[in-house]
């Protein structure tokens, strides 16, 4: 995988790199990109990992429903 980016690489659910001829399902390609970005951020990041987009309990004002904890 050459990391070439272009809108022409994707046609609906198919990913076909015009630079290196790599072909796969677009969702598979996206998941590999997410995995690779995670690995790189873990290797060069601060070492801290946490939950993303989890509201603070104090931010929840409605008590009509049970609280969902992340």
Q: Is 70 in a helix, a strand, or coil?
A: coil
- Domain of residue 15 covers 7-59
Decide if 65 is inside a domain.
Answer: no
Number of domains observed in the structure of the chain = 1
Decide if 49 is inside a domain.
Answer: yes
φ and ψ at 25, to 5 degrees? -70, 140
pLDDT in tens, 34-47: 998 888 887 766 55
Decide if 50 is inside a domain.
Answer: yes
Burial class (CB in 10 A: 0-12, 13-18, 19+), 22: middle
pTM of the model: 0.56
Decide if 2 is inside a domain.
Answer: no
Decide if 35 is inside a domain.
Answer: yes
pLDDT in tens, 13-61: 999 999 999 999 999 999 999 998 888 887 766 556 666 666 666 655 5
Decide if 11 is inside a domain.
Answer: yes
Decide if 28 is inside a domain.
Answer: yes
Decide if 43 is inside a domain.
Answer: yes
Q: Is 64 in a helix, a strand, or coil?
A: coil
């Amino acid at each position: 995988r050459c990391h070439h980016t272009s809108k022409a690489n994707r046609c609906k659910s198919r990913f076909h790199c015009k630079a290196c001829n790599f072909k796969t399902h677009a969702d598979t390609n996206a998941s590999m990109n997410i995995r690779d970005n995670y690995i790189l951020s873990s290797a060069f990041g601060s070492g801290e990992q946490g939950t993303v987009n989890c509201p603070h309990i104090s931010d929840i004002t409605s008590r009509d429903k049970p609280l969902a904890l992340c």
